[in-house]
Amino acid sequence: MIFTFVYGTLAGYVVHWLLHTPMFERLAKAHNTHHELYTPDDFVSETYRDAKNNDSVFVFVPIITTAIALACIPLWFLFSTWWIYPIIIALGASVGWLNDHMHEAFHIINHPYNKYNYFLKLKHLHLMHHMHPKKNHGIIWFGPDKLFRTFAD
């Protein structure tokens, strides 16, 4: 499970970083709309302002889950563990859902999670991403940002 979280978060970091490059402009349309809807001066709202054509969950979850499954191919050869793939798919989808859920919560002004200091720290780090789009590509874990020097506090 820890491997799935770390690897899934790393894959999510790479995809999010790519969405901020000119190479992936066409895929980044919904993501760019999100940044336009939530400028640093208008970062929160009563309800989540959806980008309407936001298909990030349908893009991120399959990419992350596939990346995790491919990384586990050696396990299949070593242990003949065919049954691990449904578990990996479920865990990958869970990591994707958790990232999406937390991300939406960051943008809701009176979200119940606001009473937790850890959540407020994550929310601040996400605000920093909206202020500096080349920084803080993580959502719930910023290990890859620290590793690749894209972290801003």
Q: What is the pTM of this model?
A: 0.80
- 75-100 burial string, b = 16+ CB within 10 Å, else e? eeeeeeeeeebeebbebbbebbeebb
How far apart are alpha carbons 130 and 86 in whole angstroms?
Answer: 35
Instruction: List the structure tokens of 25.
Output: 């402009």
Arithmetic mean of pLDDT, 64-88:
69
Q: Measuring CA to CA, which residue among 148, 37, 42, 25 is closest to residue 136? A: 148
Secondary element (H or E) of residue 145: helix 143-147
How far apart are alpha carbons 70 and 74 in whole angstroms?
Answer: 8
The per-residue pLDDT for range 84-113, each reduced to its tens digit, is 777 777 877 788 788 889 999 999 999 999
Whole-angstrom CA distances from 110 to 48, 67, 115, 120 are: 11, 35, 9, 12
